[in-house]
Amino acid sequence: MEHTTAGKKNTVHILTYVPGIGIREVILTNGCPGGETKCIVRVEECRGPADCGWGKPISESLLSVKIPCIFVPPENRFQYIWKMLIPDQQSLIIPNDSAILEVHRDTHPVAFECDTIEHDELIASVKYTVYTTAELETRRFKKPSTDIVLVFVLITGVIVCVGVIFAITFIILNW
């Protein structure tokens, strides 16, 4: 944040949190046109920590998954290095230099990592786990069990509330 003591200019930098590379809005909080309390002065690129952790795919089906690298437009200004992570071995570099990788599901889960590079500098790295079709179906079937518990608790709560209302009504009528 930047503040001037005379009160003529207050500038706030708001970083939309994206690990690696992101966008920051510079907002003026005093002296905006039309009596506005805040106005955007400019939008600029900013950098955060390069390790972005585990990402979520942009689209999934039972046969394939599309996973993206971290980037800001234009995406062709970056280099992308995709790797298949193999436990206890060196990772296998995949010959794909695009920002999005489409992976077909295998018989065992596979981890992938994408490094986003600009001017030979690593600016972002994100990892993904691509589950097998069987694991994906198992995960989908496990979700309704939480819904069953929620429905049970909700019905029990409604029955208790109705019982309390009848008890209060009985007490008032017999008073």
CATH dotted code for 50-154: 2.60.40
Contact present, 103 and 93 (Cβ < 8 Å): no
Split at pLDDT 50, 70, 90, the class of 163 is very high
Q: Quick check: helix, strand or coil at residue 95?
A: coil
pLDDT tens column, 25-66: 778 777 788 878 888 878 877 777 777 777 788 878 878 888
Stretch(es) of the chain classified as CATH 2.60.40: 50-154
| pTM (predicted TM-score) | 0.59
Cβ pair 60, 42 in contact under 8 A: no
Cα(162)–Cα(159) distance, integer angstroms:
5
Q: 139: pLDDT confidence band, cut at 50, 70 and 90?
A: low
pLDDT digits (tens, 9 = 90+) for 75-123: 788 899 999 998 888 988 988 888 888 888 877 788 899 998 888 888 8
